[in-house]
Amino acid sequence: MLAGYLARDRAPSRFSSLHSEPSLGKCMKSASEMQREALKEEKEKYAARRAILPMLQAEEDERFVKEWKNYLAEEARIMKDVPGWKVGESVYNSGRWMPLCNW
């Protein structure tokens, strides 16, 4: 008996080591098959997303245009009494010099 190790009452059998190798091989094979299947499903999912993306983008664009028209109508209603106000025009690039804010 070596220091710190318990004595074994029998020698290791050759059958136990031979028996574990094929089962390990089956396990590795099934793991690689599962990875291959998962990759196949992932590719299929992304292909479906790519196929439907133009339709989803068109719907979002339609929603945005409708919302933008409502926004411009609301701006026109609110600013109707302000002289020189142009609906939808940028308020930041007016051509007039504005002093910087003092922090």
Q: Tell me how many degrees the CA angle 46-59-87 measures, rounded to the nearest 5.
A: 135
pLDDT tens track for 3-52: 666 666 666 665 555 555 566 666 666 878 888 999 999 999 999 999 99
pTM of the entire predicted model: 0.50
Helix or strand (DSSP H, E) at 100: none
pLDDT tens track for 91-103: 777 677 777 776 5
Question: What pLDDT band is residue 75 in, cutting at 50, 70 and 90?
Answer: very high
